Amino acid sequence: MLSNGYRDIKLFRFNAEKGYVFIMAGDNLQIMVFPSVLWRFTDETEL
C-alpha cells in the first residue's frame, strides 16, 4: 500500500524480541505492525 501510494519506504525493521515490524515511510509516516496483525501509526519516541 505504501509503495502504491508513492511513499518511499526508508526503514523496515523487525524486532524479534517483541515480535513487531516497524516501517518508516516518506518523511514522517511511521507504522507498527504487531504479531496479531493489528497495526497503528506511531511516533518514533515510543520505541
- Report the pLDDT value the prediction gives residue 5, as an integer from 0 to 100: 65
SS in 3 state form for the chain?
CCCCCCCCEEEEEEECCCCEEEEEECCCEEEEECCCCCEEECCHHHC
Amino acid at 43: D
Decide if 3 is inside a domain. Answer: no
Q: How many domains does the chain fold into?
A: 1
- Report the pLDDT value the prediction gives residue 2, as an integer from 0 to 100: 62
pLDDT tens digits, 1-47: 566 666 788 889 999 999 999 988 877 888 999 999 899 988 755 55
Decide if 4 is inside a domain. Answer: no
- Report the pLDDT value the prediction gives residue 42, as an integer from 0 to 100: 82
Whole-angstrom distance, CA of residue 2 vs CA of residue 19: 21
Q: Which domain does 25 fall in, by range?
A: 9-46
